[in-house]
Amino acid sequence: MRLDTGLFQQQTQKQILSPQMIQSMEILVLNQQQLEERINDELESNVALERSEADGDGEATDGGSSTEIEIETDGEIFDLDQTRPEVDELVDLGERYEQLRELQQADFWAESTPARKSSLGSGEDEFEWVDHVEGPSETLAEHLIFQLRLKTILSPRQIALCEEIIFNLDERGWRLHSLEEIAAGVASGMESEETDPRWQEVTPSSAEWEDALHMVQSLDPPGVGAENLIDCLCLQLHRDAADNQLEELLVRWHLDDLAKNRLPQIAKTTGKTLEEIKLAADVIRSLEPIPGRAFIQSANPRIVPDILIERDAEGVFRAEVGGQSAPRLQISPHYRELLKGAKKDPELRKYLRKHIENAEWLMGAVQQRNSTLQRVAQEILDRQQEFFSEGDRFLAPMRMQDVADSIGVNVSTVSRAISGKWFQSPGMLRELRSLFSGGTVRDDGAEESRGGVIARIKELVAGEDPKKPLSDATIVKELEKSGVRISRRTVTKYREAEDIPSSRERRQY
């Protein structure tokens, strides 16, 4: 074997991703909201790209798959490599740079600054939009402190103690720390110079803290200021004028048995009848374990469907890529003219060529994304016509590889196309990925998807006798009657995945 160094030539094949290919893959993964954000960012950074508001055949759009995106200005398709006829230079070199800077600033502020009305003669209409903006929601602490302000019998020192407890509540309304820890924190803080003057330089006693806690626990909603779940439920029971000794007994000593629906065992232990236990359990179920639930601020996510599915006149479902909210794009005619007149200015020409090429790549990537998503959605729809007509039980098993083979793309392309995408159909708004699932083969040879099996299980549970609920083994036998053969372990897994209680917990005594 020869070992030496030198220069050798070797021919190999490698797959190299161009910047255009990388950008196309990045655009394909984006859902409708992310695509709008990406386009808006590009509009701010690329001076050669602008919104197209013209209507007609020359309109540039990135929307539905049936409309082809063209880079068109003044009725001519713009091509960087195409030779154009000679035109007079627009301005000299110095004026071109000044004009370029002015256009950049004008385009930037036109996109990033909203239009404002003149204050002359506008009156109150100038700030009319403020009336339509939702204000911040009231927090639990604000709600409780407002009630304290209405209690005129409280001194400033008592209010300060109550506020200290309120500020130590979590979003559920439970205490984050024990009363002793809160008192210790206040006592250590009084040694600093920034102590609250309402303390009057006297450390609050334990009796004062107890009175303040009882005052907070008397506020609405019932159950605030509790130490734990049991304390929270008992505080609500104490608010009721009725005799709730049995309910409090069950909460303190049999809460776990109640959660598992072990009513006969509770009746045997407490010496009460089953009917009494059932009535007490109903009272406990009416309580609120999270008093601050109504004040928990959680923003609902805004979902913009990427695929719109509608039934045509013939009753066949059709898929359309939704892109009405995304900006329509075109190459700026101003920068096209600048490029045509900058033949003697290589630096300016290079600058313009780069931005126009980037705009072309983006518009092409958006068009390819919509085209690929349209083909994938239509293929899925062709395979799931019965599902959209009849419901979850008729969801057919489907793999991404099957869709990729049908439309002639790689399976990774299908995976990117459906990633984070949502579809909207009559009475349904779901993720596109939810339509892909495995399944089992029925006795008649047809395939039953996982969603179809789960739908059958839900139907069996909904139609069972509440006093004799179906066990998992019984559900297996019922599914076998329909030709679906799965194990009891699979039934248990599907049931737990759908948060369906066990037969013991579903039983009504």
> Domain boundaries in the chain?
21-78+305-391+404-431, 439-506
Contact indicator for 280, 247 with CB cutoff of 8 Å = yes
Tokens of 333: 């005619």
The model's pLDDT over 82-116, given as tens digits with 9 standing for 90+, comes to: 333 333 443 343 454 455 555 454 444 444 444 43
60-64, 360-364, 374-378, 468-472: the lowest-pLDDT one = 60-64
Residue 118 confidence (pLDDT) above 70: no
Residues in CB range of 177: below 8 A, 6 or more apart: 168, 185
| Per-residue pLDDT at 16 exceeds 50 | yes
- Most confidently predicted of 7-11, 290-294, 323-327: 290-294
3-state helix, strand, coil in the chain (%, to 5): 50, 10, 40
Residue 74 confidence (pLDDT): 38
**H/E element holding 127?**
none
CA distances from 195 to 203, 208, 420 (A): 11, 18, 52
pLDDT band, residue 284 (cuts 50/70/90): very high
- Give the Cα separation of 209 and 462 in Å (integer): 51
Q: According to the model, what pLDDT value does residue 108 have?
A: 42
At residue 171, does pLDDT exceed 60? yes
pLDDT beyond 50 at 147: yes
Distances (CA, A) of 219 to 225, 295, 467: 9, 15, 41
Q: Which amino acid is at 241?
A: A
More confident residue, 329 or 374: 374
The mean per-residue pLDDT over the stretch 40-45 comes to 88
Mean pLDDT over residues 434-452, rounded?
A: 76
User: Is the pLDDT confidence value at 444 over 90?
Assistant: no
List, as one string, the DSSP characters of 288-314: -S-GGGGG---PPPP---SEEEEE-TT
Quote the radius of gyration of the chain (alpha carbons, Å): 34
What's CA 350's distance to the chain center, in Å?
42
How much is the pTM? Answer: 0.64
266-281 pLDDT, tens per residue? 999 999 999 999 999 9
Helix (H) or strand (E) holding 439: strand 439-441
- pLDDT value at position 405? 93
What CATH code is assigned to 439-506?
1.10.10.60
State which of 46-60, 136-150, 209-223 shows the largest mean pLDDT: 209-223
Residue 398 φ then ψ, to 5°: -155, 135
Q: Output the average pLDDT for the chain.
A: 79
What is the rounded CA–CA span in Å between residue 163 and residue 145?
7
**71-88 average pLDDT score:** 38
Average pLDDT over residues 202-215: 90
DSSP class of residue 56 equals S
Question: Is residue 223 pLDDT above 90, yes or no?
Answer: yes
